[in-house]
Every structure is written in C-alpha cells, then in structure tokens.
Amino acid sequence: MKQKLAISFLISALLGLSFMLYSIIRSTKVFDFRNEVIVICYDYNRSDMPDKKIVDAFLIYRKMPSYNDMIYSFKPLKLETYVNKTVVNELNRTYEYNLKDLK
C-alpha cells in the first residue's frame, strides 16, 4: 500500500514538474513572440511606404489573445496563427519595400 502511494506521489510530482518546466519555456517564447509582433507593428507604422492599407498596426497586437491565454495554449507561435494571412502579407510588405533597393 505504501509503495503504491509513493509511486503515485512520484508520478504526480514528475507531471507537476513537467508542466512547470513547459510553462516556463512557453512563457519565455510567448514573451519573445509578443515583442516581435510589437516590433513588426512599430516598423509598419513608422515606414514611409506609400498606399498603406492598415491605419494603425498596433490594433492587430491588441486583438491578439492575452499573454496568459497564449501561455496555456498549444497553438504554434507564428503570426499566421493569430492574424489573417492578408494582414500578415501587408505587414511584411514594409520589409520588402525597404529592401527592394538592395537587390
């Protein structure tokens, strides 16, 4: 009886530690991803690109799920996961516009 109790406790502890480790790693990745989205939105707003289709790119960031929702989600941390593909293409157009002279 004591042996079964000890084994179940050990399994519970390992599962708890695994979840904590996952949460710490996921939290770091979510933090980096959200900062990356902020940079992309800032670059888009500050660009001198003509015919912008998005007035304020930070509205895209504000519509994303909360930090905690993203930590406890298993969705991949890609912009395409949280934002429409056409909006992602528009945000990336800033970089293509600024780099076209380098080609």
Calpha distance 88→98 (Å, rounded):
16
**Any idea where the domains of the chain sit in the sequence?**
29-102
49, 62 Cβ separation under 8 angstroms: no
Name the more confident of 103 and 30: 30
Structure tokens at 46: 């500050």
- pLDDT above 90 covers what percent of the chain? 66
pLDDT of residue 47 exceeding 90, the answer is no
Section 18-30 average pLDDT = 95
Section 46-55 average pLDDT = 86
| pLDDT recorded at residue 17 | 96
pLDDT of residue 63 exceeding 90, the answer is yes
